Amino acid sequence: MRCSLAKRRLTEYVYGDLGERERVGIRSHLASCSSCRETADEIRGILSMASAYVGKSPPAGAYAGLRERVASRPERRRFRLFVLERPIPAYAAATAIAILAVVSGISTRTEMARLERMNSLLSDSLRVLNSQFSGRSFSEPSDSAARDTLQPHTTGSEAPPDSG
């Protein structure tokens, strides 16, 4: 083990916070490294010195003062709505239902708009086919490439381009 690594773990080693494997590693390193051994001793010394700094008791009147403060604490009146008293799962369920409703509403609208578009397209196509079958509003195409072209918006009153 290198000194830099060992020195980083010395505090934990002195506190006894290391696992067995690491503890053995540090101990064998300390056996061979006087510098790290010295640092470990210094840390031990610091910690034992720090333990000499004993704490203080709370002031004598603290207990009575606190007890009085707790006793004289004004009762908090609850001006909450009934809804706010519900537990969190109820809120979660309500939110989920609301989201589902909104999403399904949006998708239904979209679906309806799509159906309307399809419907109008279909009716246009049917009208064109119908007029083609009756042969009233369509002219004979001049060339073979234009033969298959549909002209859905032409009416019966319009004259074909080369009808003569």
Is residue 52 at the binding interface for another protein, with CB under 8 A as the rule?
yes
Q: Which of 20, 32, 34, 69: binder of another protein (CB under 8 A)?
A: 69
Q: Which of 57, 149, 155, 163: binder of another protein (CB under 8 A)?
A: 57
Site map for another protein, 82-121, x if CB under 8 A? Answer: ----------------------------------------
Site size toward another protein, by CB under 8 A? 29
Q: Which of 54, 33, 89 is nearest to 13 (CA)?
A: 33
Contacts (Cβ under 8 Å, ≥6 apart) of 145: none
Q: What is the 3-state secondary structure (H, E, C) of 34-72?
A: HHHHHHHHHHHHHHHHHHCCCCCCCCCCHHHHHHHHHHC
Pick 38 or 111: Cβ nearer another protein: 38
Is residue 3 at the binding interface for another protein, with CB under 8 A as the rule?
no
Site map for another protein, 19-48, x if CB under 8 A? Answer: -----------------------xx-xxx-
Round to whole Å and give the CA distance between 41 and 47: 10
* Residue 36 · residue 14 · CB < 8 Å: no
Q: Which of 136, 163, 132 is nearest to 152 (CA)?
A: 132
Q: Footprint of another protein on this chain (CB under 8 A)?
A: 8, 11-12, 15, 17, 42-43, 45-47, 49-53, 55-59, 62-63, 65-67, 69-71, 73
